[in-house]
Amino acid sequence: MIHLGKNTTSRIISKGIAAGHSNNTYRGLVSAHRRATGARNFTNCDSLLIGQECGAHTVPYIEAKNSSALFEHEATTSKISEEMLFYCMQRGLSAEEATALVVNGFVKDVLQQLPMEFAVEAQKLISISLEGSVG
């Protein structure tokens, strides 16, 4: 995200999911030009871990070339816990359905910004790529 003009604002929401043995890294540059006074950015970076062997990493780059820019960064990492899956399964969901439900809840902020057709595809893609990741 590069801020060139005065009083410009931007927002980044990143949702990363790591399952199995995968690692997920967020790298994001937010930069304010010398003349972009009063620039504002808010970055929200959430990671979801599925399983014991995966990891999430967040590496924000911030480049402020004037002293009035205000950049905020917030990061969370959460895990799909066995307890949460058990709760869903007690209500009748299979392990895979439970995982898909929790993951869809996690990515909701992002998916609801997408046009309908994309959102549906993205949702399907997520459930396909998570197939078999719960043991």
Interface residue list for other proteins (CB under 8 A): 78, 81-84, 86-95, 97, 101-102, 104-109
To other proteins, the closest distance from the beta carbon of 34 in angstroms equals 39
Q: What is d(CA 65, CA 93) in angstroms, rounded to the nearest whole number?
A: 52
* Closest alpha carbon to 69 in 13, 27, 6: 6
CB of 112: closest distance to other proteins in angstroms?
A: 10
The C-alpha atoms of residue 33 and residue 126 are separated, in whole angstroms, by 37
Query: Taking the complex as a whole, how short is the minimal distance between the CB of residue 3 and other proteins, in angstroms?
Result: 30
Tell me, what amino acid is at 73?
H
Q: Nearest 5°: phi and psi at 66?
A: -140, 160
Closer by beta carbon to other proteins, 66 or else 104: 104
For residue 106, give the nearest of 11, 27, 18, 41 by alpha carbon: 18
Nearer CB in complex with other proteins: 19/85: 85
Given the complex with other proteins, which of 7 and 76 has the nearer CB atom? Answer: 76
Question: Is 62 in contact with 73 (CB distance < 8 Å)?
Answer: yes
Q: Judged by CB, which is closer to other proteins: 23, or 81?
A: 81
Give the shortest CB-24-to-other proteins separation in angstroms: 18
